[in-house]
Amino acid sequence: MSLPSELCCPTCRGPLAVEGVGAACRVCDRRYSGDRGWLDFLPDLGAAGDGLGPRLMHSRALARVYERLWRPMFFGVASGGLPDYRAEFEAVLAALASAEGGAVVDLSCGPGFTGRRLAESGRFTRVFGLDWSLAMLARAAADNRGLMRLIRSDVANLPFKTASLAGAHAGAAFHMWPDPASAVAEVARVVRPGGAFVASTFAHTRGLRRRLEVAASALGRFHVFEVDQLRGMLGAHGLVDFECERRGSLILFWARRAGAAAA
């Protein structure tokens, strides 16, 4: 096994060396297993998330039906129409145009369907699929066909070198992250200047619908954002030129890592 050059130790940011089917840090000597189809940077199994929604993401039953049933149902309700994954994927690809020819990560990839399509597009040198749920990663690994390099990690502490990635995508995950601002800080650290970040999540609408959003997010323990809050969070970490498309409570937004791309 070879180790992608973009990876580093998430604990001390030291370089990694291959060790068996896993990796070891050359500086702090921590070991990361790789025997289940992904490199595991969360060996403590402690990270499960708090509350119903985040906890469900660790269920094998949900991971099995997530792509075909759970996601379309949620996207349909949130957007107030039929979910259109094909259009969503085309918009994600367009937002990642500046990342073509470089490595990208599908953050919180779940069962991996978007990451696989990004890899199949042939536009990127490497695609990482990253999640912290063992159940989701098991599904992603079963369907992977060698397309992505799978990683188990917390988005708030990414195992990538600074400015090593050309782009990052996070589909339907922002609202599930316990600390979105820390995750955004990490995205801004690992994406190179001029690189791209694109994500989808829930954003508040108005009137009765807004009340439903508040009730659903309290019940499911997920966040619903104001658009300005998302723009501000990204801007505070150097992710600029914020743009978005909205359908009901669903928002797809994208931004550019400030600074010029290296020649």
Ligand X SMILES: C[S@@+](CC[C@H](N)C(=O)[O-])C[C@H]1O[C@@H](n2cnc3c(N)ncnc32)[C@H](O)[C@@H]1O
Contacting residues toward ligand X, per CB under 6 A? 49, 57, 71, 108-110, 114, 131-133, 136, 154-156, 171-173, 176-178
**Closer of 50 and 260 to ligand X (Cβ):** 50
Residue 35 structure tokens: 């025997």
| Measured distance CA(9)–CA(32) in Å, rounded | 9
Q: Least CB distance from residue 88 to ligand X, whole Å?
A: 9
**Closer of 154 and 213 to ligand X (Cβ):** 154
**Closer of 30 and 55 to ligand X (Cβ):** 55
**Closer of 177 and 194 to ligand X (Cβ):** 177
Does residue 184 sit in helix, strand or coil?
A: helix
Length of the chain: 263
| Measured distance CA(133)–CA(135) in Å, rounded | 5
Q: Least CB distance from residue 119 to ligand X, whole Å?
A: 14
**Closer of 6 and 154 to ligand X (Cβ):** 154
Q: Give the residue ranges of DSSP H helices in the chain.
A: 52-56, 60-65, 71-79, 85-95, 113-120, 134-142, 180-190, 207-220, 227-236
Q: Least CB distance from residue 229 to ligand X, whole Å?
A: 18
User: Do the strands 103-107 and 39-40 form a parallel or antiparallel pair, or are they unpaired?
Assistant: unpaired
Q: Least CB distance from residue 148 to ligand X, whole Å?
A: 12
Q: Least CB distance from residue 259 to ligand X, whole Å?
A: 26
| Measured distance CA(116)–CA(52) in Å, rounded | 28
Tokens 């940011």 correspond to 13
| Measured distance CA(44)–CA(30) in Å, rounded | 12
